[in-house]
Structure formats: structure tokens, C-alpha cells
Chains A and B, each alone.
Chain A
Amino acid sequence: MNSSSGKGSMSTASSSAAWKTGDVVPDKFPAGLRVLVVDDDPTCLMILEKMLRTCLYEVTKCNRAETALCMLRENKNGFDIVISDVHMPDMDGFKLLEHIGLEMDLPVIMMSADDGKHVVMKGVTHGACDYLIKPVRIEALKNIWQHVVRKRRNEWKDFEQSGSVEEGDRQQKQSEDADYSSSANEGNWKSSKKRKDDEDETDERDDTSSLKKPRVVWSVELHQQFVTAVNQLGIDKAVPKKILELMNVPGLTRENVASHLQKYRLYLRRLSGVSQHQGNLNNPFISSQETTFGPLSSLNGLDLQTLAATGQLPAQSLATLQAAGLGRSTAKSGVPLPLVDQRNIFSFENPKLRFGEGQQQHMNNNKQINLLHGIPTTMEPKQLASLHHTAQSIGNINMQVTSHGAQSGQNSSLLMQMAQPQARGPTLDSTVGHAPRLPSSMGQPILSNGIAANVSTRNGIPENIRAPGYNPVSQTSSMLNFPMNHTSELPGNSFPLGSTPGISSLTSRRAFQEEVNSEIKVPSGFMPSYAIFNDLNQHKPQNWELENVGMTFDASQHSNSLQGNLDLTQSVLVQQGFSSRQVNGQSRSAAVVSKAVFSAADGTEHVIAQNVNQHLDSLLVDNTIRVKSERVADASAANLFPDHFGQEDLMSALLKQQEGIAPAENEFAFDGYSMDNIPG
């Protein structure tokens, strides 16, 4: 019938015209009335549908209340009236009635075989505009349009009284003044109503004229606003309506906020809960954020987008990351995303992310082993988790490194986690604050290979390290320098490992990565990094572009938030590196490396981080080494990391490592880090 948007009556065009002038009113109404009928009994539904069709209404049938609500929500102006059964298995009819009244304000007719007085009364009190006793006769349905008209008229009256001069109002008045027939009346109010609806809608909704609401793209900024609002209200108290008010974004609807909030909550829950899989974190968010982040996400698989979307990733960081990633080249290849940024994000956003809690233990236990093992191809969640912990403990451990190896998901998580931990401690705070710090240069898209890891470490180091002297990747060790426990801000490119060699950070990162992966509690801020990392991993497991690594890290490293960044980087690195799967054989070197890192890292925290780092390192090393064997730093990788990092250094370091694992040891002064973990 007519599908005039919102009008629901057939001759919309002509009617409106007619209505406008207040002249002829089409007699077609109530034909075309859009009815939604909800009943769990299929026989009844069949009969009702046929009856309503016979009345010339546009019928949509639904046998579940939930489905009906979805339909109504998706299509705000798609229906004029709802008819619902009282007794339904999935939801009480009165509840549905309430929902509809609150959300859509449509007239609802209740039906039931039950004609008991109290039930009918309940219908009245819940706001049903009518109550039909089953079996329903077609005669009863022929007049349901009156409820639609009545409601509109009442709304208009309110509207009019509110003083706003609306065309609809005028129309209404005109119609009222005129001596019109009821049909004319309907015509009038219909158009007016439509207008009124439109007006009402306009404020809240983007698209009032069409039935479909345009999708809201949760950009970074928007998401940030959202998160700000949520944080202001307190996650428990954050209700869509209030969030919407706080956000004060024109065109945004409560429903948009509500669905976004739901996703956000899921995300947070994931962060807090033990993330089972590495990629998990990213997943939910990625989907929702997909649109916004597009290319970025592809980068890592990490939900950079999500992260960003969730506001974790500071807009800037995200942007940076994205830019980096995108700018670099194919996102895939080397997510040039500013790892650092990611880290920042991570670290700052959810410092308190649950990450740390379990992780500590985690880390200690698993790290080493995990790191190494995890590195190959997929960072085992455990590892990630351990990394996570490590990261946590380390504070700002640049867990990222860890995640590096861990495949995409893992890495991210690690990173994120790493970042998290950082957030926890004081360093975290700093990092946290830095969220936006994510260096745009993050371009280090997860150092696809070990290099990345290295690099990340460097970047990650920011946590504490503010030390400009981050040595990044020049040798794995340097990479590992994640300033593991410091939230030092890594100076932009100088991976200021500061405290200890990035290695440790790296390791920790790696460890974290692994752990993180498992938990991927990536703080919202982390998300992005993960994505980045994931991506990096994926793409270039082999490309240990050290150079890139270095570079990326550098960029991201700056600022404490780097920790997060570091993590990112690290994770990236780890991921990359590890994915190279070299871990197996090379674990040794990795171990060595990690060891070095550990040693580099200082601070108690570092201890754990160290473990992690070690893992990370191992992982990294492995990866790097492996990579080396496979293919030394792919060119692409190189692209990834632009120059911040002393790529050469990194490269050389990596190369060195690769050539000979042993050397790594030397370099790192490993104390006999047992590479047992590394799956041989």
C-alpha cells in the first residue's frame, strides 16, 4: 500500500496536498494504516493478518515481542499502531506495551482470550488504548484506526498549546475550523501529525523523513564525547538518555546512544573479564567501530577502531594511529599506526582495567614460557595474559612488545594490557593522560616483525622511560628496552628506554602481549593498538622490519602514555616478530633478548615485566631472528616505520640476532634465561 514514509495512508502525496489546503481529504484513510501485530500463537497471527489485510491495512506480523521491539526501534516511523497479545512466552504483553509507549509512543491494542476484569484493567493502567477479547472479529479491527487518530489529535493539542506555531498546528486549526468530515479531519491531522512527528524527530533523530534512520558513525570524537559522558555519569548510572543529554550532539538519538552504550559495556566487560581470546577485545568493538575506523582496523585486527571508538583511544591518538597506519601504506602491511599512540590509549584509558589483577600472577607464571611459545604464530592467550600481568606489574611495561608476537589479537591485548598496567601505577596515570599522546608517528605499525617489537619496546618504554635514549631496536635489546615500568614518556623517537633497555620492556611487553591476548582487556585505549598490532602481525610476520620497529616506536613512544604505546609497539613487534614463528628455534635468542630486556628494565615492577619482557624478548628475538632468517625486514616493514626509530639500529640488532642467536645472548647478557618456553 502506501508506503509513504510515516504517513501510512495511501494517498500521501495527494492527501498532503489536499490536507494542506484543508480541502478535499482523501477517503482512503484508514486504508494503509501500518499495523504491527504481535502474537505468539501462529494460528491467531494468521487470522489476524488476514483480517487486517481485509481491512486494507498494511500488516506486519511478529510472533515474538523482542522481534517486534527491534522492528519498531529500527523503523521508528514505520508503524501507526501495534496490536499485541497479553500472554507471550518471551515477554509479557504489558511490558511490551510499556516499552512501546516509552520509546515509540505508538497506540497499542492489547488482546487476550482472557476477559477477566483485572486483566482488562491492567491494560488500561499500562496505557493500552484498547483491549480486544479473543477471538477477535474483523469488525473490531475495522475501527482500530480511531486510536491512531485520537492519539494524534491529542498530541497536536499539546503541541499547539506549547505555543509553537507549526504548520501542522495551523493545519489542525484550519481543519478544526473548517467544517470537515471526519475523513477530512484525518487527512489533516495526518499531515499535521506527520509534520509534528517530523519536528519532534528532527531534534532527536537524524532522519525523520525517511523511515530508515541513518547509521550513526561513531567517530573518535563522538566516541570520546560518549565516554566522557559515561564517565561523568558513572558507568553504572549512565543511561542513554542522560548520556545523550550530556553529549548534546544534534541528530544523535537515544537509541544510537543506547546501542553504543551496550557495545561499550560489552567491551568493558571484556576488558575486565579475563579475555579468553586475544582477539576478542577487538572483535566486538571492531564490528561496531568498523565504519569509523576502516582501514585502521584492518591494520591490526586490533580494534583500534573500537578502542578509539570507545574513546579509549584518544581521538588524536587514534587519528594518529590511523593516519599512521593508513599513511604508511596498506594498513595491513605495516600499520604504521603510531604504535605509541595506541599505547597511550591503552594506558590511559583503562588504567584500572582489570588487567592488572590477575595478570600479575599470570605473568609470573607464564611469562617466560608463554612468551616464547606464544610467539609463534599465535600468541597464546596465556602468554598474553602473562604478558598482561607483567605489563601490569611493570606498570607501563611496554607490553606491547609482547603482544607483538602474539598474533594479532594477542598482541593487541598485550599491548593493551600493558598499557593498562601502566595506567595503574602512577606511570599509568601519566600514560593515561597521554592518551592523546599516541604519537602520530606510531606509524610503527607493529613492527611487523620482531623489529616492531623492538621498536615498540622502545616506544613503549615511554612509560617510564622517558629516557630519550631509548635504544630501540638497534638490537633487540634495545628494543626491549621498553621502559617497562615507567611510564616515562618516550620521547618521540628516541625510545627513551630510560630505565632499562628496552628489552626488558619488550619482554614484558611481549609477555603482556601474550597475556594480554588472552585477556585482551585492552583498555579502551588499547584497542587501537591491538588492531594495529594485529594487523601488523598478520601482515608481516616476517617483516621484522626493524627499521620500522624502531621507527614506530619512536613515534609512539613519546610520552608516558607511551607505555600504552609501547605496549602497542611491542605488541606489534611481538606480534610481528613472533608471528614469524621463529620463535621456535630462535626462542633462544628471544629469550636472550628478553632477558636483556629484563635486565634493562629496572624496578621491581620490572621484575615481572622482565619476565614478560623476557618472554617478549624471546619472542621478539625469536621473531626477529626468525624473521631475519626468513626475510630480513621486508621492505614493507621498513615502510612501516618511518624513521623514527633508529631503524638501522634496530635492524642491525635484529639482524644480529637473527644471524646468531647466540649473539643475542651476548648482547643481552642474558642470565640464562631459559628458553624452554619457546616451542622448538
Chain B
Amino acid sequence: MEKNPMRRQLAIMRQALFDQGYLDEQFIQLEELQDDANPNFVEEVVTSYYRDSARLILKIEQALERKPFDFNKLDGYMHQFKGSSSSIGAKKVKAESTLFREHCNSGNGEGCVRAFQQLKQEYATLKKKLEAYFQLARQAGPMETACRPK
């Protein structure tokens, strides 16, 4: 069976995400959990992540508006955010979270702010890429089974 061009495209897209460091091993773990019983498991998890982490992002933002910074609180939020991000394999986002926490620990307010900006960017970028990926996967998916070179 010839591989569906869409599927091929999907594979390439996916590989790029790994190569460019957006995703790590953990994402593969999620993919491996996907099965017939949960055919869209990965997408569900990622959707859940973006929904829940959005709240955290907001909290951090609000916390960063209050001066002086409550580093403990910020660290706490970020810890949560980091845990979530790492569970879906969001590598770059996780790295930014670690950086942010380091700044918190050293009481570097400015560093926190900068790291947070970076983090938000990575967060948004990944979101877009994953959305595109899943969209393609949905298109390619059903087709895969049905598709046969006619």
C-alpha cells in the first residue's frame, strides 16, 4: 500500500517537531498510548494541556504584575506548569520553565519576566504547530484506512 501522501507529510511534520526540539520523548510515550480504543488520545491530551495551562499562564501573568514579585508563588505556578508541559513532551516550553524557576530562585525579577516572555512565545508556537499537525493527522488518518491507490 502506498503511503498516503498526507501521511507522509504528517510524518515529516512530526519529525521536524522532534528535530527542532519542540517535542521530546514524552510525546512518543503519548503516541504509544494511542490505540484503537483511544484513537485521538494524543490530541485529547494536548488539548487538555492547552486548556489547563492557559489558566496557569494567566495566573503567572497576574502575579508578575504585582510588585514586588512573590517568587515563591511564581515558582509554585511555574512548577505546576513545568510538570504539565513535560508530561506532553513540550521540550522548549519546559526548558523555558526551568529557566524561569531559576530566576525565581535567585530572585531575579527581570530574568523572570524575560523568561516568561520567551516561554509564552514557545508555548504559542508549539500550539500552532501541534494544531496544524493534528489537523493533518485527522485528515490523513481516516484516509489511511480507506485510502488505497485506486
Query: Interface of A with B (CB < 8 Å)?
Result: 40-44, 46-47, 50-51, 54, 85, 87, 112-114, 134-138
A41 touches B87 (CB 8 A): yes
- Neighbouring B residues of A40 by C-beta, 8 Å: 80
- Neighbouring A residues of B48 by C-beta, 8 Å: 42-43, 46
Interface size of B in residues (CB-CB distance below 8 Å): 23
Q: Which residue of A lies closest to B90 (CB)?
A: A135
Is B4 part of the binding interface, using a Cβ–Cβ cutoff of 8 Å? no
- Neighbouring A residues of B38 by C-beta, 8 Å: 50
* A11 to B42 CA separation, bound complex (whole angstroms): 32
Counting chain A CB atoms within 10 Å of each CB, which of B53, B88, B89 scores highest?
B88
* A41 to B80 CA separation, bound complex (whole angstroms): 8
Q: What are 28 residue pairs bridging A and B, where the CB atoms are less than 8 Å apart in the complex? A: A40-B80, A41-B52, A41-B83, A41-B87, A43-B48, A43-B53, A43-B84, A43-B87, A43-B88, A44-B83, A46-B45, A46-B48, A47-B87, A47-B88, A50-B38, A51-B33, A54-B33, A85-B83, A87-B76, A87-B83, A112-B83, A134-B83, A135-B83, A135-B87, A136-B87, A137-B26, A138-B29, A138-B32
* A114 to B83 CA separation, bound complex (whole angstroms): 8
B79 touches A113 (CB 8 A): yes
* A51 to B87 CA separation, bound complex (whole angstroms): 12
B86 touches A113 (CB 8 A): yes
- B 15-32 binary contact with A (CB < 8 Å = 1; else 0): 000000000001001101
A41 touches B84 (CB 8 A): yes
* A87 to B26 CA separation, bound complex (whole angstroms): 21
B49 touches A43 (CB 8 A): yes
Is B82 part of the binding interface, using a Cβ–Cβ cutoff of 8 Å? yes
Least distance between A360 CB and chain B CB atoms (Å): 50
- Neighbouring B residues of A134 by C-beta, 8 Å: 83, 86-87
Q: Which residue of B lies closest to A112 (CB)?
A: B83
Q: Which of B26-59 contact A (CB under 8 A)?
A: 26, 29-30, 32-33, 38, 41, 44-45, 48-49, 52-53
* A137 to B24 CA separation, bound complex (whole angstroms): 12
Q: Given that A41-B84, A135-B26 are contacting pairs, would A87 and B49 also be in contact in the complex, using a CB cutoff of 8 Å? A: no
* A566 to B13 CA separation, bound complex (whole angstroms): 85
- Neighbouring B residues of A46 by C-beta, 8 Å: 44-45, 48
A87 touches B87 (CB 8 A): no
- Neighbouring A residues of B52 by C-beta, 8 Å: 41-43
- Neighbouring B residues of A85 by C-beta, 8 Å: 83
Q: Which residue of A lies closest to B46 (CB)?
A: A43
Q: Which residue of A lies closest to B97 (CB)?
A: A113
- Neighbouring A residues of B29 by C-beta, 8 Å: 47, 51, 135, 137-138
| One of A41, A113, A135, A138 near B33 (C-beta < 8 A) | A138
* A560 to B21 CA separation, bound complex (whole angstroms): 85
A44 touches B32 (CB 8 A): no
* A47 to B44 CA separation, bound complex (whole angstroms): 10
A87 touches B33 (CB 8 A): no
* A51 to B44 CA separation, bound complex (whole angstroms): 14
Q: Top 5 nearest A-B pairs by Cβ distance?
A: A113-B83, A135-B86, A43-B49, A135-B87, A135-B26
- Neighbouring A residues of B76 by C-beta, 8 Å: 87
- Neighbouring A residues of B89 by C-beta, 8 Å: 135
* A44 to B90 CA separation, bound complex (whole angstroms): 13
| One of B33, B53, B80, B84 near A50 (C-beta < 8 A) | B33
- B 104-130 binary contact with A (CB < 8 Å = 1; else 0): 000000000000000000000000000
Least distance between B145 CB and chain A CB atoms (Å): 22
Q: A43-B48, A51-B29, A51-B33 are in contact. List 8 more A-B contacts (CB 8 A).
A: A42-B52, A43-B87, A47-B88, A50-B33, A112-B83, A113-B82, A138-B29, A138-B32
* A46 to B40 CA separation, bound complex (whole angstroms): 13
Q: Given that A87-B76, A138-B29 are contacting pairs, would A47 and B45 also be in contact in the complex, using a CB cutoff of 8 Å? A: yes
Q: Which residue of B lies closest to A114 (CB)?
A: B79
* A113 to B82 CA separation, bound complex (whole angstroms): 7
Q: Which residue of A lies closest to B86 (CB)?
A: A135
* A47 to B89 CA separation, bound complex (whole angstroms): 12
* A137 to B84 CA separation, bound complex (whole angstroms): 14
Q: Which residue of B lies closest to A48 (CB)?
A: B87
Least distance between A39 CB and chain B CB atoms (Å): 9
* A41 to B56 CA separation, bound complex (whole angstroms): 11
A44 touches B33 (CB 8 A): no
* A50 to B32 CA separation, bound complex (whole angstroms): 10
| One of A44, A50, A87 near B41 (C-beta < 8 A) | A50
Q: Which residue of B lies closest to A137 (CB)?
A: B29
Q: Which residue of A lies closest to B89 (CB)?
A: A135
A44 touches B84 (CB 8 A): yes
- Neighbouring A residues of B79 by C-beta, 8 Å: 87, 113-114
Q: Which residue of B lies closest to A54 (CB)?
A: B33
* A136 to B32 CA separation, bound complex (whole angstroms): 14
Least distance between B77 CB and chain A CB atoms (Å): 11
Q: Which residue of B lies closest to A111 (CB)?
A: B83
Q: Given that A41-B52, A42-B52, A87-B76 are contacting pairs, would A47 and B30 also be in contact in the complex, using a CB cutoff of 8 Å? A: yes
* A87 to B72 CA separation, bound complex (whole angstroms): 13
- Neighbouring A residues of B41 by C-beta, 8 Å: 50
Q: Which residue of B lies closest to A88 (CB)?
A: B80
- Neighbouring A residues of B44 by C-beta, 8 Å: 46
Q: Which residue of B lies closest to A50 (CB)?
A: B33
* A113 to B83 CA separation, bound complex (whole angstroms): 5
- Neighbouring A residues of B26 by C-beta, 8 Å: 135, 137
- Neighbouring B residues of A42 by C-beta, 8 Å: 48, 52
- Neighbouring A residues of B88 by C-beta, 8 Å: 43, 47
* A418 to B107 CA separation, bound complex (whole angstroms): 64
* A69 to B39 CA separation, bound complex (whole angstroms): 33
- Neighbouring A residues of B84 by C-beta, 8 Å: 41, 43-44
- Neighbouring A residues of B86 by C-beta, 8 Å: 113, 134-135
* A501 to B121 CA separation, bound complex (whole angstroms): 86
* A51 to B28 CA separation, bound complex (whole angstroms): 13
- Neighbouring B residues of A113 by C-beta, 8 Å: 79, 82-83, 86
* A112 to B32 CA separation, bound complex (whole angstroms): 22
* A47 to B79 CA separation, bound complex (whole angstroms): 18
Least distance between B101 CB and chain A CB atoms (Å): 10
* A365 to B84 CA separation, bound complex (whole angstroms): 62
Least distance between B78 CB and chain A CB atoms (Å): 10
* A112 to B79 CA separation, bound complex (whole angstroms): 9
* A43 to B33 CA separation, bound complex (whole angstroms): 14
Q: Which residue of A lies closest to B50 (CB)?
A: A43
Counting chain B CB atoms within 10 Å of each CB, which of A42, A44, A54 scores highest?
A44
* A235 to B60 CA separation, bound complex (whole angstroms): 45
Least distance between A83 CB and chain B CB atoms (Å): 14
- Neighbouring A residues of B87 by C-beta, 8 Å: 41, 43-44, 47, 134-136
A43 touches B80 (CB 8 A): no
* A41 to B53 CA separation, bound complex (whole angstroms): 9
Least distance between A578 CB and chain B CB atoms (Å): 55
Least distance between B84 CB and chain A CB atoms (Å): 5
- Neighbouring A residues of B80 by C-beta, 8 Å: 40-41, 87
Counting chain B CB atoms within 10 Å of each CB, which of A40, A43, A46 scores highest?
A43
